[in-house]
Amino acid sequence: MIISFSLENWMSFRDRVTFSMVASRERQHGDRVPRLSKYQTRVLPIAAIYGGNASGKTNFFKALSFARALIVEGTRPDRLILVEPFRLDTKMAGQPSRFNFVLLIDETLYEFSFAVTREAILEEKLVAISSTSEKVLYHRQDGKIVFDNSLADDPFLQFAFQGTRSNQLFLTNSVSQTVNTFRPVYDWFDNTLVMIAPDSRFGPFEQFLDERSPLHSTMNAMLPQLDTGIARLGGEEIPLDNIPLPESVKNKLHESVKEGMGASLQNGLTNEQFVVTRKGGELTAKKLVAYHSKSDGGEVKFDIWQESDGSQRMIDLLPAFIELSARDSKKVYVIDEIDRSLHTLLTRRLLEAYLANCSTETRTQLLLTTHDVLLMDQQLLRRDEMWVAERDATGASSLISFSEYKDVRYDKDIRKSYLQGRMGGIPKIFLGDVLLDSRIAEESEEYD
């Protein structure tokens, strides 16, 4: 679980901003807020970030995506790090971007932080937090690293650090060198944190094609109930030669796909996705299709790209909500623009279904950004689960929890206050005068 996430000098975030999932003292919806007895605290299962266009919501999402990619995928030798510092203040260009995570991993808290420029990792620290103390497992700075006393005598840790490039996180390289000491933190970013962008396409779609997969049967049970018109999903085998691929790609598939293995690929023109497998020495391809019911009881097959944007978005998101509701799941999903192409009642129903499965013992989380103010409802979300992104006159973004507004009572129409501009995070629109001036100019030209 994410306990908190801080960032500084990243895109529109100039100053240090901290996003916290620690629950406040309010009692509303308390029965679904997970409790960490060991640390005597409660952690929220959901957070929604509102705000006008260009307020910083997506930049927050991109910060998490950047950190995850830097940790999991790493960097290539002699390449710049794709960090994006705040560009509207000249003095910030030479300053590092800073990221700080406090995470719950296997019921233990870890704090992981790093400072980075395009050329190098300037600082990196990993801290294990117990209920009574903190232990700095390692602290890397100025080209050196210091380990906790319990690790200082391990020669392989020093060896792994010596092989860590200046543009590479030690956490990443230690795992690649089969050092398992810090692997739980790496695995959290790799396996637990899942990012879904507005244009993400059918993440686990290979499972949709496998009739033995639990996701296949669950998706097909739920889709007909969501008014998409889709009766079920299925797979259709097609000749590999019928897929418009460059010869170089086809040759690579022939070389790399072994018997019983598979590879995923995407047609950039239609966004169709395929799974290529080798059976009996031959390559075969299968694509995802949707079946609709006919009035006579039969079915009609449609390609996924023929479905509405809303139906495609539902296929994108539904696996996330299924996994979030699974028993013993610990997944953390971050969804940017969750309401894109979805009716507000459908979005709300997905959130209600997820929250209904949350309890004091669950460990899943859902972070989302949205423009849908109809979700801004205290019957659905607590005040500390709602945040607003705001951009000031200098172009710098900030994040403010609704729980920080002292006049927002649990029975208050928070949506009305937000739309009236009392809480920030709404667009400042002056288009009316521009359009009026434009109309006057056009009328003047007619009489010239």
Confirm if 2 and 101 have CB atoms less than 8 A apart.
Answer: yes
Give the CA count within 13 Å in the CB-facing half-sphere of 222: 19
| Predicted local confidence at residue 260, as pLDDT | 72
3-state SS track over 165-182? CCCCCHHHHHHHCCCCCC
Q: How many CB atoms lie within 10 A of CB 314?
A: 23
Phi, psi at residue 387, to the nearest 5°? -125, 160
Confirm if 182 and 174 have CB atoms less than 8 A apart.
Answer: yes
Residue 36: enclosing H or E segment and its boundaries? strand 35-36
DSSP conformation class of 113: E
For the record, the structure tokens of 427 come out as 């667009």
10-residue mean pLDDT series, the chain (448 residues): 98 98 94 96 97 94 98 95 95 95 97 97 97 96 95 92 96 95 97 93 74 86 90 88 83 84 73 80 87 93 91 91 92 96 93 96 97 92 95 95 76 69 61 54 54
Angle at 64 between CA 323 and CA 387, to 5 degrees: 85
Q: Which domains does the chain have, with CATH numbers?
A: 1-198+336-436 (3.40.50.300), 205-310 (no CATH)
Q: How far is CA 19 from CA 23, 321, 411, in A?
A: 12, 23, 25
CA 440 to chain centre: 46
Q: How many CB atoms lie within 10 A of CB 215?
A: 17
| Predicted local confidence at residue 253, as pLDDT | 86
Confirm if 312 and 229 have CB atoms less than 8 A apart.
Answer: no
- Model pTM greater than 0.85? yes
CA 265 to chain centre: 22
Q: How many CB atoms lie within 10 A of CB 238?
A: 15
Q: How many CB atoms lie within 10 A of CB 65?
A: 16
- As a whole number of angstroms, the distance between CA 423 and CA 277 comes to 54
| Predicted local confidence at residue 125, as pLDDT | 98
* List of E strands, 51-143: 97-105, 108-116, 121-129, 134-141
DSSP conformation class of 189: I
Residue type, 38: K
Handedness of CA 224, 226, 230, 233 (dihedral sign): negative
Closest CA to 195 of 37, 367, 346: 367
| Predicted local confidence at residue 342, as pLDDT | 92
Q: How far is CA 134 from CA 4, 6, 23, in A?
A: 16, 19, 22
Residue type, 148: D
| Predicted local confidence at residue 200, as pLDDT | 83
Closest CA to 309 of 425, 201, 419: 201
Q: How far is CA 247 from CA 23, 240, 273, 291, in A?
A: 55, 11, 18, 32
Confirm if 97 and 103 have CB atoms less than 8 A apart.
Answer: no
The position carrying tokens 């019928």 is 242
Confirm if 48 and 385 have CB atoms less than 8 A apart.
Answer: yes
| Predicted local confidence at residue 105, as pLDDT | 98
Instruction: Please report how the helices 214-222 and 309-324 are oriented relative to each other, as an axis angle in degrees rounded to 10.
Output: 120
Instruction: Report the relative pairing of strands 386-391 and 46-50 from DSSP bridges.
Output: parallel
Residue 324: enclosing H or E segment and its boundaries? helix 309-324
Q: DSSP H helical segments within 48-118, as ranges? A: 57-72
**Exposure string (b/e) for 295-310, b if CB count within 10 Å is 16 or more?**
eeeeeeeeebeebeeb
For the record, the structure tokens of 88 come out as 């509207």
| Predicted local confidence at residue 193, as pLDDT | 97
* List of E strands, 32-96: 35-36, 41-42, 46-50
- As a whole number of angstroms, the distance between CA 27 and CA 118 comes to 45
DSSP conformation class of 190: I
Residue type, 144: K
Residue 288: enclosing H or E segment and its boundaries? strand 282-293
Closest CA to 170 of 129, 128, 120, 135: 120
CA 201 to chain centre: 13
